[in-house]
């Protein structure tokens, strides 16, 4: 039996169109490269800024925030193929000027890359 079809083979007619809040969002990925951001209109008249490419990370060091350049993506626990494609997600371990760091936020949701040093 085919999805969206009656037993006779006829198509079901949609009762209505999708509402604004039901619409499908694009799958966004943040890659390593020169900074590039985009913003999108969301409910409540607000705007959401998301990151498409990023090259710097805000590191927490002894209670202070330090900006460092990302050199390479080492490993991504969520998907091993993301590391090969230089895709930045939460939990990704990256090589920076200061050492190895772990990304602690979601760059596609917040528009910045935050992390902590690990050694």
Domain ranges, ordered by start, for the chain:
28-117
pLDDT tens sequence for the chain (119 residues): 578 889 898 999 888 998 888 888 778 899 999 999 999 888 889 998 999 999 999 999 888 999 999 999 999 999 999 999 999 999 999 999 999 999 999 999 899 999 999 97
pLDDT recorded at residue 59: 95
Which residues, 6 or more positions from 9, have their beta carbon under 8 angstroms from its beta carbon? Answer: none
- In the prediction, which pLDDT does 2 show? 75
Please give the C-alpha separations between residue 88 and each of 14, 21, 113, in angstroms, as whole numbers.
38, 27, 9
Instruction: Give me the architecture of the 28-117 domain, per CATH.
Output: Roll (3.10)
pTM of the shown model: 0.78
């Amino acid at each position: 039996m085919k999805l969206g079809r009656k037993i006779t083979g006829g198509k079901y007619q949609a009762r209505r169109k999708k509402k604004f809040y039901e619409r499908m969002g694009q799958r966004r990925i943040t890659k390593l490269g020169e900074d590039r951001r985009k913003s999108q209109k969301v409910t409540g008249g607000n705007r959401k800024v998301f990151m498409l490419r990023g090259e710097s990370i805000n590191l927490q060091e002894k209670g202070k925030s330090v900006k460092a350049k990302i050199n390479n993506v080492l490993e991504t626990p969520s998907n091993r193929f993301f590391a090969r494609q230089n895709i930045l997600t939460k939990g990704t371990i990256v090589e920076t000027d200061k050492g190895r760091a772990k990304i602690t936020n979601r760059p596609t949701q917040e528009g910045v890359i935050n992390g902590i040093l690990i050694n």
